[in-house]
Structure 1
Amino acid sequence: MEGHGALNPGERAGIAWRISTRSENGGGSCVEVGPLGDGSGRVAVRHSHRPDGEVIVYSRAEWEAFVGGVKDGEFDFSVT
């Protein structure tokens, strides 16, 4: 993980945040993700209820590893 909330206001303003359509009907407790606009391939993640709060930034390799794991079912578990 590259950093927690380590973005300046200009970097944050340039992020095109996305939220999963699967989350929109789930009570609004969601995460948002967006690529940094600096060409680095880094991806920022934040809580949708706290858009001005902490942001976690992942490198391209970290994000690709996570998405690959999701697609492969590595994070499928039952939450009670």
Structure 2
Amino acid sequence: MSESLPPVAWHISSRSSDGGGSCVEAGPVLDGSGRVALRHSKAPDAATIVYTRAEWDAFVAGVKDGEFDFSTPA
């Protein structure tokens, strides 16, 4: 049984090329937990992934450091 997700303040990147129709949305879970939720904008009622604040901060730091730039060889 999956837990019910509290409200989320969803955001779509301003870099989305199609105005938000086919991208990932992320946002803080509005329950004071610091968690961050992720979903596909075309399927808002489908599965949502929820990360702890520490997990999200580690991911963002990795993005800023270029760890997920798969367009260039490692």
Query: Do both share a fold (TM > 0.5)?
Result: yes
Q: How many pairs were matched up?
A: 71
* Paired residue secondary structure (2:60): helix
- The whole-number CA distance in structure 2 between the counterparts of 1:27 and 1:19 is 6
Q: Which of 35, 52, 64 in structure 2 is aligned with 1:42?
A: 35
Distance in 2, Cα, partners of 1:49 & 1:73: 27
Q: Confirm whether residue 68 of structure 1 aligns to residue 61 of structure 2.
A: yes
Q: Is the contact made by 2:20 and 2:41 (CA closer than 8 Å) also made in structure 1?
A: no
Query: Which whole-Å deviations, capped at 9, do the CAs of 1:21-80 have from their partners, x for residues lacking one?
Result: 11143783200001011111100000000011100000000000000000111111129x
Relative CO higher for 1 or 2, CA cutoff 8 Å, sep ≥ 6?
Answer: 1
Uncovered stretches (5+) of structure 2, i.e. residues with no partner: none
Moved over 4 A (4+): none
C-alpha change, 1:72 and 1:22, in structure 2 (3 Å) is: same
Aligned Cα RMSD in Å?
2.1
TM-score normalised to the size of structure 1?
0.78
Unaligned 5+ runs, structure 1: 1-5
1:12-51 matches, within 5 Å, as 14-25=7-18, 28-51=21-44
Q: 1:18 to 1:26 in 2, by over 3 A?
A: closer
